[in-house]
Protein backbone atom coordinates (compact mmCIF):
# COMPACT_ATOMS: atom_id res chain seq x y z
CA UNK A 1 0.00 0.00 0.00
CA UNK A 2 2.79 2.39 0.92
CA UNK A 3 4.59 1.50 -2.29
CA UNK A 4 1.54 2.40 -4.34
CA UNK A 5 1.19 5.76 -2.65
CA UNK A 6 4.81 6.57 -3.12
CA UNK A 7 4.62 5.84 -6.82
CA UNK A 8 1.43 7.77 -7.39
CA UNK A 9 3.11 10.83 -5.94
CA UNK A 10 6.32 10.52 -7.91
CA UNK A 11 6.53 12.52 -11.11
CA UNK A 12 7.61 10.51 -14.12
CA UNK A 13 9.22 12.35 -17.04
CA UNK A 14 6.69 13.06 -19.78
CA UNK A 15 8.09 10.98 -22.64
CA UNK A 16 9.83 8.25 -20.69
CA UNK A 17 7.95 5.75 -18.67
CA UNK A 18 10.17 3.19 -17.04
CA UNK A 19 8.93 -0.30 -16.78
CA UNK A 20 10.87 -2.96 -15.01
CA UNK A 21 10.68 -5.56 -17.78
CA UNK A 22 12.48 -3.40 -20.34
CA UNK A 23 16.23 -3.78 -20.53
CA UNK A 24 18.08 -0.66 -19.39
CA UNK A 25 20.46 0.72 -22.03
CA UNK A 26 22.87 3.61 -21.44
CA UNK A 27 24.05 5.85 -24.29
CA UNK A 28 27.39 7.69 -24.13
CA UNK A 29 28.12 10.48 -26.59
CA UNK A 30 28.56 14.22 -26.94
CA UNK A 31 28.54 15.93 -30.37
CA UNK A 32 25.57 16.41 -32.70
CA UNK A 33 26.11 13.01 -34.37
CA UNK A 34 25.48 11.32 -31.00
CA UNK A 35 22.00 12.86 -31.06
CA UNK A 36 21.27 10.90 -34.27
CA UNK A 37 21.89 7.70 -32.32
CA UNK A 38 19.74 8.85 -29.40
CA UNK A 39 16.97 9.72 -31.85
CA UNK A 40 17.13 6.24 -33.37
CA UNK A 41 17.14 4.59 -29.92
CA UNK A 42 14.20 6.67 -28.64
CA UNK A 43 12.28 5.96 -31.86
CA UNK A 44 12.87 2.22 -31.51
CA UNK A 45 12.22 2.07 -27.77
CA UNK A 46 8.90 3.90 -28.08
CA UNK A 47 7.42 1.08 -30.12
CA UNK A 48 5.08 -1.04 -27.94
CA UNK A 49 7.01 -4.28 -28.46
CA UNK A 50 10.41 -2.75 -27.72
CA UNK A 51 12.50 -4.80 -25.28
CA UNK A 52 14.69 -1.93 -24.05
CA UNK A 53 14.63 1.63 -22.77
CA UNK A 54 17.23 4.38 -22.68
CA UNK A 55 17.84 4.46 -18.93
CA UNK A 56 20.53 7.16 -18.85
CA UNK A 57 22.82 9.30 -20.95
CA UNK A 58 26.49 9.93 -20.27
CA UNK A 59 28.05 12.95 -21.91
CA UNK A 60 30.76 15.60 -21.59
CA UNK A 61 30.29 18.30 -18.93
CA UNK A 62 28.77 21.63 -19.97
CA UNK A 63 31.41 23.88 -21.52
CA UNK A 64 31.84 27.26 -23.15
CA UNK A 65 31.24 26.48 -26.82
CA UNK A 66 31.89 28.57 -29.93
CA UNK A 67 33.85 31.14 -27.89
CA UNK A 68 30.62 31.98 -26.03
CA UNK A 69 30.59 33.02 -22.39
CA UNK A 70 27.70 30.82 -21.34
CA UNK A 71 28.15 27.25 -20.16
CA UNK A 72 26.39 25.09 -22.73
CA UNK A 73 25.42 21.42 -22.35
CA UNK A 74 26.81 19.06 -24.99
CA UNK A 75 24.70 18.78 -28.18
CA UNK A 76 23.64 15.28 -27.06
CA UNK A 77 22.49 16.56 -23.65
CA UNK A 78 20.57 19.45 -25.28
CA UNK A 79 18.84 17.08 -27.63
CA UNK A 80 17.98 14.68 -24.79
CA UNK A 81 16.46 17.51 -22.75
CA UNK A 82 14.45 18.63 -25.81
CA UNK A 83 13.08 15.12 -26.12
CA UNK A 84 11.90 15.27 -22.50
CA UNK A 85 14.70 13.25 -20.97
CA UNK A 86 15.06 13.90 -17.24
CA UNK A 87 18.19 15.88 -16.38
CA UNK A 88 18.68 13.54 -13.37
CA UNK A 89 19.44 10.78 -15.86
CA UNK A 90 22.11 12.73 -17.75
CA UNK A 91 25.54 12.09 -16.23
CA UNK A 92 28.48 14.37 -17.05
CA UNK A 93 31.62 12.93 -15.42
CA UNK A 94 34.98 14.49 -16.38
CA UNK A 95 36.33 10.97 -16.74
CA UNK A 96 34.44 7.69 -17.17
CA UNK A 97 36.48 6.14 -14.35
CA UNK A 98 35.24 8.41 -11.55
CA UNK A 99 34.00 6.41 -8.55
CA UNK A 100 30.86 8.48 -7.92
CA UNK A 101 29.83 8.12 -11.55
CA UNK A 102 30.58 4.39 -11.64
CA UNK A 103 28.41 3.74 -8.59
CA UNK A 104 25.54 5.70 -10.19
CA UNK A 105 25.95 3.65 -13.35
CA UNK A 106 26.07 0.39 -11.38
CA UNK A 107 22.83 1.31 -9.59
CA UNK A 108 21.03 1.47 -12.96
CA UNK A 109 22.09 -2.13 -13.67
CA UNK A 110 22.51 -1.46 -17.38
CA UNK A 111 22.16 -4.42 -19.69
CA UNK A 112 24.11 -2.65 -22.44
CA UNK A 113 26.12 0.54 -22.94
CA UNK A 114 26.35 2.14 -26.40
CA UNK A 115 29.01 4.69 -27.29
CA UNK A 116 28.76 7.11 -30.21
CA UNK A 117 31.58 9.68 -30.45
CA UNK A 118 31.81 9.88 -26.66
CA UNK A 119 35.51 10.82 -26.69
CA UNK A 120 36.61 9.49 -23.28
CA UNK A 121 38.59 6.33 -22.61
CA UNK A 122 36.52 3.64 -20.89
CA UNK A 123 38.46 1.86 -18.14
CA UNK A 124 37.95 -1.81 -17.24
CA UNK A 125 35.94 -0.90 -14.14
CA UNK A 126 33.46 0.82 -16.47
CA UNK A 127 33.43 -2.00 -19.05
CA UNK A 128 32.71 -4.55 -16.28
CA UNK A 129 29.36 -2.94 -15.37
CA UNK A 130 26.94 -3.55 -18.30
CA UNK A 131 25.87 -7.22 -18.30
CA UNK A 132 26.07 -7.60 -22.11
CA UNK A 133 29.04 -5.29 -22.56
CA UNK A 134 29.55 -2.03 -24.42
CA UNK A 135 29.21 -1.53 -28.17
CA UNK A 136 30.57 1.36 -30.20
CA UNK A 137 29.48 2.95 -33.46
CA UNK A 138 32.76 3.81 -35.19
CA UNK A 139 32.65 5.72 -38.51
CA UNK A 140 35.20 3.65 -40.44
CA UNK A 141 35.59 0.10 -41.71
CA UNK A 142 37.56 -1.32 -38.77
CA UNK A 143 40.38 -2.27 -38.41
CA UNK A 144 41.04 0.75 -40.68
CA UNK A 145 41.15 4.22 -39.13
CA UNK A 146 41.06 3.41 -35.44
CA UNK A 147 41.15 6.51 -33.27
CA UNK A 148 39.75 9.99 -32.87
CA UNK A 149 39.44 11.31 -36.45
CA UNK A 150 38.49 8.37 -38.73
CA UNK A 151 36.29 10.32 -41.16
CA UNK A 152 38.71 13.24 -41.48
CA UNK A 153 41.76 11.02 -42.02
CA UNK A 154 39.94 8.84 -44.56
CA UNK A 155 38.93 11.92 -46.58
CA UNK A 156 42.46 13.30 -46.29
CA UNK A 157 43.73 10.04 -47.78
CA UNK A 158 41.27 10.46 -50.66
CA UNK A 159 39.54 7.10 -50.09
CA UNK A 160 36.83 6.12 -52.58
CA UNK A 161 34.93 4.15 -49.99
CA UNK A 162 34.67 4.00 -46.24
CA UNK A 163 31.95 2.90 -43.86
CA UNK A 164 30.73 2.43 -40.34
CA UNK A 165 31.31 -0.42 -37.90
CA UNK A 166 29.39 -1.64 -34.88
CA UNK A 167 31.91 -3.31 -32.58
CA UNK A 168 32.22 -4.45 -29.00
CA UNK A 169 34.38 -2.16 -26.87
CA UNK A 170 37.51 -3.65 -25.33
CA UNK A 171 40.35 -1.99 -23.41
CA UNK A 172 42.44 -1.44 -26.55
CA UNK A 173 41.20 1.47 -28.68
CA UNK A 174 38.62 0.47 -31.35
CA UNK A 175 39.98 -3.08 -31.38
CA UNK A 176 36.95 -5.16 -30.31
CA UNK A 177 35.11 -7.81 -32.36
CA UNK A 178 32.86 -6.48 -35.12
CA UNK A 179 29.13 -7.15 -34.93
CA UNK A 180 28.25 -5.55 -38.29
CA UNK A 181 29.52 -2.97 -40.73
CA UNK A 182 28.36 -1.14 -43.81
CA UNK A 183 30.35 0.29 -46.71
CA UNK A 184 29.63 3.74 -48.12
CA UNK A 185 30.89 5.23 -51.41
CA UNK A 186 32.73 8.51 -50.96
CA UNK A 187 31.86 11.29 -53.40
CA UNK A 188 34.78 13.49 -54.48
CA UNK A 189 33.04 16.64 -53.19
CA UNK A 190 31.62 15.43 -49.84
CA UNK A 191 33.00 17.21 -46.75
CA UNK A 192 33.76 15.71 -43.34
CA UNK A 193 30.68 16.98 -41.42
CA UNK A 194 28.29 15.58 -44.04
CA UNK A 195 30.06 12.25 -44.29
CA UNK A 196 30.18 11.97 -40.50
CA UNK A 197 26.44 12.55 -40.29
CA UNK A 198 25.72 10.02 -43.05
CA UNK A 199 27.87 7.39 -41.33
CA UNK A 200 26.16 7.90 -37.98
CA UNK A 201 22.75 7.53 -39.65
CA UNK A 202 23.89 4.24 -41.17
CA UNK A 203 25.50 3.28 -37.86
CA UNK A 204 22.34 3.85 -35.86
CA UNK A 205 20.42 1.71 -38.37
CA UNK A 206 22.97 -1.05 -37.85
CA UNK A 207 22.62 -0.71 -34.08
CA UNK A 208 18.81 -0.92 -34.13
CA UNK A 209 18.96 -3.89 -36.51
CA UNK A 210 21.50 -5.73 -34.34
CA UNK A 211 20.02 -4.95 -30.89
CA UNK A 212 17.95 -8.19 -30.77
CA UNK A 213 21.07 -10.28 -31.49
CA UNK A 214 23.06 -8.32 -28.90
CA UNK A 215 20.32 -8.86 -26.30
CA UNK A 216 19.97 -12.59 -27.00
CA UNK A 217 23.73 -13.07 -26.83
CA UNK A 218 24.20 -14.30 -30.40
CA UNK A 219 26.06 -11.14 -31.46
CA UNK A 220 28.76 -11.78 -28.92
CA UNK A 221 29.16 -15.35 -30.24
CA UNK A 222 29.14 -14.34 -33.93
CA UNK A 223 31.13 -11.11 -33.78
CA UNK A 224 34.24 -11.22 -35.99
CA UNK A 225 37.60 -10.56 -34.35
CA UNK A 226 39.54 -7.81 -36.12
CA UNK A 227 42.68 -8.57 -38.09
CA UNK A 228 44.98 -6.41 -35.95
CA UNK A 229 47.82 -6.67 -38.50
CA UNK A 230 45.68 -4.58 -40.92
CA UNK A 231 44.90 -1.83 -38.40
CA UNK A 232 45.61 1.80 -39.30
CA UNK A 233 45.42 4.83 -37.04
CA UNK A 234 43.42 8.04 -37.43
CA UNK A 235 44.97 10.42 -34.91
CA UNK A 236 43.29 13.59 -33.71
CA UNK A 237 43.73 16.66 -35.94
CA UNK A 238 45.70 19.59 -34.61
CA UNK A 239 45.19 23.24 -35.46
CA UNK A 240 48.69 23.63 -36.98
CA UNK A 241 47.86 21.09 -39.70
CA UNK A 242 45.39 23.57 -41.17
CA UNK A 243 47.76 25.56 -43.45
CA UNK A 244 47.73 24.66 -47.15
CA UNK A 245 51.14 24.37 -48.80
CA UNK A 246 50.85 24.90 -52.55
CA UNK A 247 53.94 22.84 -53.44
CA UNK A 248 51.69 19.86 -52.88
CA UNK A 249 49.52 18.47 -55.65
CA UNK A 250 46.02 19.88 -56.08
CA UNK A 251 44.35 16.56 -55.21
CA UNK A 252 46.21 16.40 -51.87
CA UNK A 253 45.09 19.94 -51.02
CA UNK A 254 41.50 19.30 -52.15
CA UNK A 255 41.31 16.20 -49.93
CA UNK A 256 42.61 18.18 -46.98
CA UNK A 257 40.05 20.94 -47.51
CA UNK A 258 37.23 18.37 -47.46
CA UNK A 259 38.71 16.52 -44.49
CA UNK A 260 39.30 19.57 -42.28
CA UNK A 261 36.01 21.25 -43.19
CA UNK A 262 34.08 21.94 -40.00
CA UNK A 263 37.14 21.85 -37.74
CA UNK A 264 39.86 23.18 -37.89
CA UNK A 265 39.33 24.32 -41.50
CA UNK A 266 42.13 25.01 -43.98
CA UNK A 267 43.92 28.32 -44.37
CA UNK A 268 46.13 29.96 -46.97
CA UNK A 269 48.12 33.18 -47.11
CA UNK A 270 47.94 35.14 -50.35
CA UNK A 271 49.44 38.42 -51.45
CA UNK A 272 47.36 41.27 -52.86
CA UNK A 273 49.36 43.54 -55.18
CA UNK A 274 47.78 46.99 -55.32
CA UNK A 275 47.84 49.11 -58.48
CA UNK A 276 50.69 51.26 -57.07
CA UNK A 277 52.75 48.11 -56.50
CA UNK A 278 52.21 47.95 -52.72
CA UNK A 279 51.63 44.47 -51.35
CA UNK A 280 49.63 43.20 -48.44
CA UNK A 281 49.13 39.70 -47.09
CA UNK A 282 45.67 38.19 -46.70
CA UNK A 283 44.98 35.23 -44.46
CA UNK A 284 41.98 33.35 -45.84
CA UNK A 285 40.04 30.27 -44.92
CA UNK A 286 39.60 27.97 -47.91
CA UNK A 287 36.07 26.55 -47.82
CA UNK A 288 35.28 24.76 -51.08
CA UNK A 289 37.68 23.56 -53.76
CA UNK A 290 37.87 21.37 -56.84
CA UNK A 291 40.81 19.88 -58.70
CA UNK A 292 41.07 21.63 -62.06
CA UNK A 293 40.82 19.03 -64.79
CA UNK A 294 42.51 20.91 -67.64
CA UNK A 295 46.01 22.23 -67.27
CA UNK A 296 46.32 25.50 -69.14
CA UNK A 297 45.40 28.73 -67.37
CA UNK A 298 46.03 32.26 -68.58
CA UNK A 299 48.82 33.35 -66.23
CA UNK A 300 51.90 35.51 -66.65
CA UNK A 301 53.91 34.29 -63.71
CA UNK A 302 54.05 31.01 -61.84
CA UNK A 303 52.77 32.51 -58.58
CA UNK A 304 49.82 34.38 -60.07
CA UNK A 305 46.36 33.33 -58.98
CA UNK A 306 44.00 33.63 -61.93
CA UNK A 307 40.22 33.90 -61.94
CA UNK A 308 38.76 31.45 -64.45
CA UNK A 309 35.14 30.33 -64.87
CA UNK A 310 34.07 31.36 -61.37
CA UNK A 311 37.10 29.95 -59.57
CA UNK A 312 40.39 31.25 -58.19
CA UNK A 313 42.99 28.98 -59.74
CA UNK A 314 46.03 28.28 -57.53
CA UNK A 315 49.04 26.74 -59.28
CA UNK A 316 50.12 23.67 -57.26
CA UNK A 317 52.81 21.00 -57.29
CA UNK A 318 53.63 18.94 -60.42
CA UNK A 319 51.80 21.37 -62.71
CA UNK A 320 48.39 20.74 -61.14
CA UNK A 321 45.86 23.46 -60.30
CA UNK A 322 43.42 23.87 -57.44
CA UNK A 323 40.20 25.78 -58.01
CA UNK A 324 38.93 27.66 -54.95
CA UNK A 325 35.17 28.17 -55.21
CA UNK A 326 34.36 29.57 -51.76
CA UNK A 327 36.51 31.31 -49.16
CA UNK A 328 36.24 33.33 -45.97
CA UNK A 329 38.27 36.31 -44.75
CA UNK A 330 38.85 36.74 -41.00
CA UNK A 331 35.67 37.89 -39.23
CA UNK A 332 33.68 37.84 -42.50
CA UNK A 333 31.05 35.59 -44.03
CA UNK A 334 31.82 32.85 -46.53
CA UNK A 335 31.85 34.32 -50.07
CA UNK A 336 32.09 32.90 -53.57
CA UNK A 337 35.35 33.28 -55.45
CA UNK A 338 33.52 35.60 -57.88
CA UNK A 339 32.39 37.97 -55.11
CA UNK A 340 35.90 38.03 -53.66
CA UNK A 341 37.48 38.65 -57.10
CA UNK A 342 35.07 41.54 -57.82
CA UNK A 343 36.02 43.09 -54.47
CA UNK A 344 39.68 43.16 -55.54
CA UNK A 345 38.86 45.72 -58.29
CA UNK A 346 41.73 44.82 -60.54
CA UNK A 347 44.39 44.25 -57.87
CA UNK A 348 46.52 41.19 -58.57
CA UNK A 349 46.62 38.10 -56.41
CA UNK A 350 49.72 35.99 -55.82
CA UNK A 351 50.26 32.91 -53.73
CA UNK A 352 52.91 33.04 -51.02
C1 LIG B 1 13.01 9.06 -35.66
O2 LIG B 1 11.66 9.26 -36.02
C3 LIG B 1 11.40 10.49 -36.65
C4 LIG B 1 9.91 10.62 -36.84
O5 LIG B 1 9.37 9.48 -37.43
C6 LIG B 1 12.18 10.54 -37.98
O7 LIG B 1 11.97 11.77 -38.63
C8 LIG B 1 13.66 10.37 -37.70
O9 LIG B 1 14.41 10.34 -38.90
C10 LIG B 1 13.91 9.09 -36.90
N11 LIG B 1 15.32 9.06 -36.54
C12 LIG B 1 16.20 8.14 -36.94
C13 LIG B 1 17.63 8.36 -36.53
O14 LIG B 1 15.92 7.17 -37.60
CATH of the domain at 293: 3.40.50.12230
pLDDT value of residue 11: 43
Does residue 90 form part of some domain?
yes
Ligand 1 center from residue 332 Cα (angstroms): 35
Q: Is the CB–ligand 1 distance for residue 39 below 6 Å?
A: yes
298 lies in the same domain as 339: yes
| In the predicted structure, residue 296 carries a pLDDT above the cut 70 | no
Ligand 1 atom 12: the closest Cα is on which residue? 40
Q: Is residue 14 predicted with pLDDT exceeding 50?
A: no
**Ligand 1 pocket, residue 41 CB under 6 Å:** no
33 to 171, 196, 197, 234, 325: CA distances (angstroms): 23, 7, 6, 18, 27
pLDDT at residue 6 tops 80? no
Residue 255 included in any domain: yes
204 lines ligand 1 (CB under 6 A): yes
258, pLDDT greater than 50: yes
The reply to whether 263 and 226 lie within a common domain is no
User: What is the number of H-type helices and E-type strands within the chain?
Assistant: 10, 16
116 DSSP β-pair partners: 29
Same domain, residue pair 102 and 30: yes
Residues 166, 207: contact at Cβ < 8 Å? yes
Examine the fold and report which residue of 181, 209, 230 is the final residue of a domain before the chain moves on. 230
Specify whether 88 is located in the same domain as 190: yes
51 and 199 part of one domain:
yes
What CATH number should be reported for the domain holding residue 54?
A: 3.40.50.170
Same domain, 165 and 195: yes
CB-neighbour burial class of residue 166 (10 A; exposed 0-12, middle 13-18, buried 19+): buried
Same domain, yes or no, for 89 and 217? yes
Whole-number pLDDT of residue 58: 98
Q: Whose CA is nearest to atom 1 of ligand 1?
A: 43
pLDDT recorded at residue 297: 62
Whole-number pLDDT of residue 203? 98
Q: How far is residue 66's CA from residue 37's CA, in Å, rounded to a whole number?
A: 23
Q: Could you give the residue ranges of the DSSP H alpha helices within the chain?
A: 2-9, 32-45, 75-82, 99-107, 124-127, 150-156, 192-215, 218-222, 250-260, 337-344
Query: Which residue range is the domain that position 36 belongs to?
Result: 23-230
246: pLDDT strictly greater than 80: yes
Does any ligand 1 atom lie closer than 6 A to the CB of residue 43?
Answer: yes
What pLDDT was estimated at residue 173?
A: 94
Q: Does some domain include residue 326?
A: yes
Q: Is the pLDDT of residue 21 over 90?
A: no
User: What is the distance in A from the centroid of ligand 1 to the CA of 38?
Assistant: 10
pLDDT in tens, 262-276: 999 999 999 999 888
Reply yes or no on whether the pLDDT at 299 is more than 70: no
Ligand 1 centroid to Cα of residue 178, in Å, is 25
Q: 199 with 169: CB under 8 angstroms?
A: no
Instruction: Give residue 20's pLDDT.
Output: 63
Q: Is residue 13 part of a domain?
A: no
| Mean pLDDT score across all residues of the chain | 92
Q: Is 196 in the pocket of ligand 1 (CB under 6 A)?
A: no
The answer to the question of residue 128 being in a domain is yes
Residue 42 CA, ligand 1 centroid: distance in Å? 9
User: Do residue 43 and residue 180 come from a single domain?
Assistant: yes
pLDDT in tens, 54-73: 999 999 999 987 677 789 99
CA angle (257 as vertex; 280, 188 as ends), nearest 5: 140
Of 32, 38, 40, which is best to mutate to test ligand 1, by the most ligand atoms within 8 angstroms of its C-beta?
40
The reply to whether 123 and 223 lie within a common domain is yes
Higher model confidence: residue 297 or residue 109? 109
Cα–Cα distance list, 241 to 128, 190, 238, 259, 273 (Å)? 38, 20, 6, 11, 27
Residue 55 lies in a domain: yes
C-alpha 14 to ligand 1 mean position (Å): 19
Atom number in ligand 1 closest to CA 36: 13
Q: What are the contacts of 181-190 at 24+ separation with CB within 8 A?
A: 181/141, 181/142, 181/206, 182/206, 183/141, 185/160, 185/161, 186/154, 186/155, 186/159, 186/160, 186/161, 186/162, 189/258, 189/290, 190/155, 190/258
Q: Ligand 1: which atom is nearest the Cα of residue 205?
A: 14
Task: Assess if residue 18 is contained within a domain.
Answer: no
Total tally of structural domains belonging to the chain: 2
**Same-domain status, 172 and 48:** yes
Same domain (yes/no): 166, 260: no
Q: 36 CB less than 6 Å from ligand 1?
A: yes
Q: Using the 3D structure, point to which of 230, 265, 294 is the last residue of a domain.
A: 230
pLDDT band at 19 (very low <50, low <70, confident <90, very high): low
Q: 3-state DSSP call for residue 168? A: strand
Domain co-membership, 291 together with 195: no
Q: How remote is the CA of residue 49 from the centroid of ligand 1, in Å?
A: 18
The predicted structure's pLDDT at residue 352: 83
Q: Which of 209, 230, 251 is the last residue of a domain?
A: 230
- Beta strands 90-91 and 321-328: pairing type? unpaired
In a domain, 10, yes or no: no
Amino acid sequence: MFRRLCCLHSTPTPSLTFSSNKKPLVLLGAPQVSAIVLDALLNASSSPDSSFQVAAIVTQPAARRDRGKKLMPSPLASYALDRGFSSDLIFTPERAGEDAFLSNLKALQPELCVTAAYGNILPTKFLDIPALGTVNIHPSLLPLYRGAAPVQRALQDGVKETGVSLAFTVRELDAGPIIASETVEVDDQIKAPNLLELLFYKGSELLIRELPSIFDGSASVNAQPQDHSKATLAPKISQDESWLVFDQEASVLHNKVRAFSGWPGTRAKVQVVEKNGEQKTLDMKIITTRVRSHESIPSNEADDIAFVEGALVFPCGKGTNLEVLELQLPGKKVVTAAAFWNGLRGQKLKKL
